[in-house]
Amino acid sequence: MPKRRRSRALLVDITRCIGCRACVGACKEAHGLPGDDTATELSATSLTAMVDQGDLHVRRLCMHCEDPSCASVCPVGALHKTDLGPVAYDARLCLGCRYCMVACPFNVPRYEWTKAVPAVRKCDMCIERVAQGQLPACVDACPVEATVAGDRDELLAEAHHRIAERPGDYHPHVYGETEAGGTSVLFLSPVPFAQLGFVQGLPAEPLPDLTWQVLEKVPGVVTLGGAALLAVWWITHRREEVAAAQTAREDDHA
What is the tens place of the pLDDT at every residue in 96-136?
899 999 999 999 999 999 888 899 999 999 999 999 999 99
Helix, strand, coil share of the chain (percent; to 5): 35, 15, 45
Beta bridge partners of 175: 187
Task: Band the pLDDT of 218: cuts 50, 70, 90.
Answer: very low
Cα–Cα distance measured from residue 109 to residue 121, given in angstroms and rounded to the nearest whole number: 6
As a dihedral over the C-alpha atoms of residue 98, residue 102, residue 103, residue 109, rounded to 10 degrees, the angle is 60
CB 15 within 8 A of CB 169: yes
Q: With a cut of 50, say whether residue 222 has pLDDT above it.
A: no
**Cα distance between residue 121 and residue 62, in whole Å:** 10
- Is pLDDT at 214 greater than 80 in this prediction? no
Q: Distance (Å, rounded) from C-alpha 53 to C-alpha 145?
A: 20
CB 186 within 8 Å of CB 7 = no
35-44, 77-86, 207-216: the lowest-pLDDT one:
207-216
Q: In what order do the strands lie in the sheet with 185-188?
A: 147-151, 8-13, 185-188
**Cα 173 to Cα 165: distance, rounded to the nearest angstrom:** 14
Q: Give pLDDT tens digits for 154-211.
A: 999 999 999 999 999 999 999 999 999 999 999 999 999 999 999 999 999 988 765 5
